[in-house]
Structure 1
Amino acid sequence: MSGFKSLFKQTFIYGLATVLPRMLSFILVPLYTDPAVLSVEEYGRISFIFAYFVLFNVVLAYGMETAFFRFFNKEDNQDKVTSTSAISLILSSFALLGIAFLFRNQISTLINIELKYLNLVFIILLLDALVIIPFAWLRATARPMRYAILKILNVAVNLGLNVFLLLYLKDLAEGNSVLDQIYKPDFEISYIFISNLIASGLTLVLLLPFYTKIKLTFDAVLWKKMMRYAMPVLIAGIAYSVNETFDRILLEKLLPADIADAQVGMYSACYKLALFMTLFATAFRLGIEPYFFSHSKTENPQKNYAKILEYFVAFGSVILLTVVVFADVIKPYIIRSEAYYEAMWIVPFILLANFCLGIYHNLSVWYKITDRTKYGAYISIVGAITTLALNYVLIPIIGFKGSAIATLSAYLIMMLLSFYYGRKFYPIPYNLKKIVLYFGLSTMFSMLYFYIFRGNYFIGIGALIVFLSLVFQLERKELTLLLKRN
């Protein structure tokens, strides 16, 4: 149980580093969906551009973060691993983005992003790439507090600048010669990216001591080993970015031009209501990934891995049902305009999709521990193909509903494939009866309530109480033992 105590402590702190910034970022959704700040079409445009951010970030990282964790715990000389991976990312980031700047006009035309925004995007990508290894090093060396503070500071600065530039700058600029030079009318989208750029720049400045502490030595032999490990992760990452964000890109491309941005805006805003599941899954993943690697050589680690997934599914099932039941209560506080509510239909699908993705990340321990990362790439490619195929077929017929169905289908297939191959190469004694019970019952209750009994809180809250009682009864013994040990 001491291992679980350490896991939950790190998960809480990493969760804090993820949950608080993301919760603060909720402020941006009401801000962006306020008709006085941005139109539905403008919010859709921002969401479309940020969709490309995910893809570009994956390419610039090229799996080196995951390779760093693996070799940091595997190699005797951890300093050499840190230095080699840091130098690799520095050189590749400047080279790739240097080429991108040279061909920025062609790229702008190809991906349909205005050049004035694309230039800002490139700079932000460079700044973010340069902090990948410093942040990974903080996690690998168990410094969650510093990691959390820097992450929270980054988002706080970003949010503060968004609020200032979008809400207050115009009024303050009147009669103030300095602020009048900063303020520009119809510049809202650029202000959003400028806020991001300043926050990313500040984060890099605060992490610069990392680069002065490490010995900048490059081991070519080690780098080749790391790249062999990282390449499948890169392929999986690209496929993941397709699953995660290409729905916005395909909506913009496949829908008629006069409604595309508005549809993307509505879809993206309602997608945010699934953030509670995303927060939970992300925080859990940040906590368990180092744990998986560091405990892989202990006696019978599979037993602990099995229990971790059981806990994840139990908590995730509660989150799924709770958010679905109270989605209509939550939405006015997050989405400020009723113009976006047409897309509320997608909420249970996106919540369930992110739940499946979280389970997939827990199941993925088998191919990371056994160095079979190519299977992660294969599975993600299958998911990406599913995403692309279903979006291409369904978007012209049912619009953003098709994107939600495609997202759930892709993550469900990935989850099932990972479970199947995991049993073959690295058997873990999962308690399938409990896992299927929690997952199946919460899914059934959620779908029945939202699409048949929506608004009837007597039924919704009743279903939630029944489910919570069931989970408590089945997990009471384990939870009591865990709390006593802590």
Structure 2
Amino acid sequence: MPRILGLILTPFYIHELPNKADYGVYSSLMVYLILGNVMLSYGMETAFFRFMNKSERKSEVQSTALTALLISSVLFCVLGLLFENPIAQWLHYTPAFIGYAVGILTLDALSVIPFAWFRNQEMPIKYSFVKISNVLINFSLNIFFFVGLPAIAGENPKGLIAHLNFEDKVHYIFLANLVASAFTLLMVLPLYKRIGISFDKVIFKKMLKYAFPVLIAGIAFSINEGFDKLILRYMLPKKVADDVVGIYAACYKLGVFMTLFVTAFKLGVEPFFFSHANKKNAKETYANITLYFSIFGSFIVLFVVVYADILKQILIPEQVYWEALWVVPFILMANLCLGIYHNLSVWYKVTDKTWYGAAISIVGAVITLSLNFMLIPIISYKGAAIATLAAYAGMMFISYYYGQKNYKIPYNVKKIALYMGTCMVYATLSFYVFNRNIYVGTLFVFIFLLMIYILEGKALKKTLKKA
């Protein structure tokens, strides 16, 4: 739902924000929020799942994780607000935006363990209720700030509410996010009493040792996920930088259809990996999950590529942003590779070899940064898209190679390669060779679905019968 909110609000922001540069400022600031979320949770969520499933002192594990994040989040908030102006000057943003970011990051970090607790206790209804409430509050506030507030302020320019009527409408995006995060924390706050506030140094050291490589991997992932936008912003001439970031970020959003699938999958599969690690058929289960993920993911990539010209009308209603549509197949394939990488990462998580994950992510970050610095001066945002695909594909292959050496899983590599390869060929032909001809693209989609039916029809029917 949060991803869907981003999907819905993209055309709204594009329409409401005065120009491409404003959308670029918003998009680049979101990169810092992604990085901040990773650093403030510092791998404790993954450590929480691992230690709750293997430790006999479960109450101490959950209360220690909660207390640790409480202390670090409050400390971050104090320091962030104290140094708001220097940070804003250094990063070239309005100081108020830094304040919003600090508040949002703090509130979100304080909700990390309560959400992990819901997932670990297999309470998807409560988890979803809070998450969806956050989405609805955020969405409602965006509508109010952008549409309702200016009308109210116009009728009563001296009223209290008129003080919230900003000329720079980017304020509204972060204000809505801040209030929604505050309400989310209020909703999960009762869990603080249920989990308990206490701190066990021994458990914390063990958890931190496990979590630290996850933190490094998370930082590297943030670099892979968003630093292309920052590099574009700081490498291109100042007068066009935010405009270019804006059009790139808008077209990047077409990749959200793949991201939605990957995010939903990851939320469910991570605790599943840990809970099934000691079962007899665990490796076969992991292999089957990866195969079907690859099939559905490949179909999503091809579908979005073929119907990009229809989807762009809905998601990116302003024609000035369409210049960057070239990046769409690259971003979709990059997210598919990332999703498969999440599948492959099971081997180092269940064997407590999380340093491998950190090392692989660092390699990905090096690829991202190197290619961005090399290609952006030559081909601008196209270089950023190429770098993203290269990084995630590299991480996927490296993880598979070392995973088979340390925790061999019988993946059906031939089938996975067949589906991904066919998807890539059809997507490339449809988008670049046939210039997005919808009839040719639809034929490719039909052939791909027919291939799935012929190769997987019997297995899918058996699975559906069992379900």
TM-score in same-fold range (> 0.5): yes
Check if 1:73 corresponds to 2:53. yes
Query: C-alpha displacement at 1:466, in angstroms?
Result: 0.5
SS in 2 for 1:429: coil
Q: Which residue of 2 aligns with 1:248?
A: 229
Give 1:95 deviation, angstroms: 1.4
Q: For the residues of structure 1 that align with 2:145 and 2:128, how far apart are their CA atoms?
A: 26
* Residue in structure 1 matched with residue 249 of structure 2 by the alignment: 268
Cα offset for 1:179? 6.0
CA contact (8 A) 2:7 2:256 kept: no
Q: Does the aligned pair in 1 maintain the 2:149–2:165 contact within 8 Å?
A: no
**TM-score, with length taken from structure 1:** 0.94
AA at the equivalent of 1:229 = Y
Partner residue of 1:335 out of 290, 307, 316: 316
Match of 1:148 among 105, 114, 128: 128
Task: Indicate conservation of the 8 Å contact 1:270/1:343, yes or no.
Answer: yes
Partner of residue 187, structure 2: 206
- 1:398-435 per-residue CA deviation (whole Å, 9 max, x = no partner) reads 10000000000000000000000000000000011111
Q: Does 1:475 align with 2:456?
A: yes
Q: 1:25, 1:159 within 8 Å by CA — same for their partners in 2?
A: no
- Alignment partner for residue 86 of structure 1, among 44, 51, 66? 66
User: Which segment is superposed worse, 403-412 or 329-338?
Assistant: 329-338
- Could you report, residue by residue, the CA deviation over 1:154-205 in whole angstroms, capped at 9, with x for unpaired residues? 0111111111111221122232464653442413111111101100000000
Equivalent positions of 1:209-248 (< 5 A) are: 209-248=190-229
Separation in 2 of the partners of 1:228 and 1:263?
A: 41
Q: Tell whether 2:162 aligns with 1:181.
A: yes
Deviations 1:41-60 (A, max 9, x none): 10001111111111111111
2:21 counterpart residue number: 41
Question: In the alignment, what sits opposite 1:345?
Answer: 326
Distance 1:58 1:303 in 2: 31
Which residue of structure 2 lines up, in the alignment, with residue 308 of structure 1? Answer: 289
2:412 equivalent in structure 1: 431
SS of 2:415 mapped into structure 1: helix
1:196 to 173, 177, 184: 177
Determine the structure 2 residue equivalent to 1:161: 141
**Structure 1: gaps of 5 or more residues:** 1-19
8 Å Cα contact 2:287-2:410 kept in structure 1: yes
Moved more, 67-76 or 105-114: 105-114
How do residues 276-291 of structure 1 correspond to structure 2 at under 5 angstroms? 276-291=257-272
Kindly provide the amino acid, as one letter, of the partner of residue 196 in structure 1. Answer: N
The root-mean-square deviation of aligned C-alpha atoms, in Å, is 1.2
Q: Is the 8 A contact 1:150 1:203 kept in 2?
A: yes
Say which is worse superposed, 109-118 or 356-365, in terms of deviation.
109-118
Deviations 1:228-257 (A, max 9, x none): 000000000000000001011000000000
Q: 1 CA distance for matches of 2:113 and 2:46?
A: 10
Q: State the alpha-carbon separation in 2 of the partners of residues 476 and 279 from structure 1.
A: 25
Q: Which runs of 5+ in 2 are unaligned?
A: none
- After superposition, the Cα gap between the structure-2 partners of 1:108 and 1:173, relative to the gap in structure 1 and judged at 3 Å, is closer
Contact 1:174 1:180 in 2 (8 A): no
Deviates more, 1:25-34 or 1:299-308: 25-34
Aligned length: 466
Q: Distance in 1 between matches of 2:175 and 2:166?
A: 15
- 1:277 Cα shift? 0.3
Distance of 1:37 and 1:263 partners within structure 2: 15
In the alignment, structure 1 residue 454 sits paired with structure 2 residue 435:
yes
Which residue in 1 is equivalent to 2:103? 123
Kindly state the Cα deviation for residue 362 of structure 1 after the two structures are TM-superposed.
Answer: 0.3
The equivalent position to 2:113 in structure 1, one of 113, 133, 149, is 133
Could you tell me whether the CA contact under 8 Å between 1:391 and 1:403 is conserved in 2? yes
Q: Is contact 1:37–1:166 with CA below 8 Å preserved after alignment?
A: no
For 2:431 and 2:270, the matched residues in 1 are separated by 34
Aligned equivalents of 1:21, 1:105: Cα separation in 2: 30
Shift of 1:475: 1.1
User: Between the two proteins, what is the percent identity of the paired residues?
Assistant: 49
Question: Once structures 1 and 2 are overlaid, which stretch shifts more, 215-224 or 178-187?
Answer: 178-187
